[in-house]
Amino acid sequence: MRTGDKQLVDQARQGDMPAFEALVLTHQKAVYTLALRLTGSHHDAEEITQTVFLKAWRGLPAFRGEAAFSTWLYRLTRNACTDFLRRQGKCREDRSLDDPDLPPAADAAPSPEEAVLQRERQQALTEAMEKLPEQARTILLLREVQGLDYQAIAQALDLPVGTVRSRLARARRALRDLLAEGNLFAPPASKNGKGGGTP
């Protein structure tokens, strides 16, 4: 656990509300982002974020510090999202990986043609992620978006590290296959119509 987090957690466990508020300020964007990407709704993500920190406050006495505080929050967030989606029992058609609250992938402004292609690719990525099972989508988000290492993902999802590696590999393969179907991410075709040509 980060030194700053550990001190704040220790203080918060003793009932120090300002210390807990500092933890919330440090981690709320990451919690919100994960909730948004799993639910696809800003409103739902805000509610889940509040729920997660309420559960964290109540659960602090049981938090042993064996995993990082952020990893514990990811687990609470994932569980809260899973519970929420099961209760809703609905398809989230509005989920998008293109979150305006996140920094852009590149600083340089694209040309109009590049902007169109980027939008098409983003839409294809969103649709492909939508088709993945929740388990695969979650593990990809934790690794590729949140940047967690294998050990942190294992702790967040309560899985062995080896299982995380194998599931992540399968999820990446499934996503790659789905994206290749749309041709936007497929290798360019050669003149004879077969794939594998050079750009």
Query: pLDDT tens, 72-130?
Result: 998 899 889 888 888 877 544 334 444 444 444 344 455 666 666 666 666 667 677 77
Residue 114, pLDDT score: 66
The distance of Cα 179 from the centroid of its chain, to the nearest Å, equals 19
Residue 78, pLDDT score: 87
User: Whole-number mean pLDDT of the chain?
Assistant: 76
Residues in the chain: 199
Which residues, 6+ apart, have CB-to-CB distance to 185 below 8 Å? Answer: 121, 124, 176, 179
* pLDDT over 80 (residue 17): yes
Which residues, 6+ apart, have CB-to-CB distance to 95 below 8 Å? Answer: 37, 39, 40, 41, 126, 129, 130
User: Tokens for 155?
Assistant: 């702790």
Does 82 or 196 have the greater pLDDT score? 82
Nearest to 171 by CA among 144, 199, 198: 144
User: What whole-number distance in Å separates Cα of residue 128 and Cα of residue 112?
Assistant: 24
Q: For residue range 124-138, list pLDDT tens digits in order.
A: 676 777 778 888 888
Global pTM value: 0.56
In which band, very low, low, confident or very high, does the pLDDT at 25 lie, cut at 50, 70 and 90?
Answer: very high
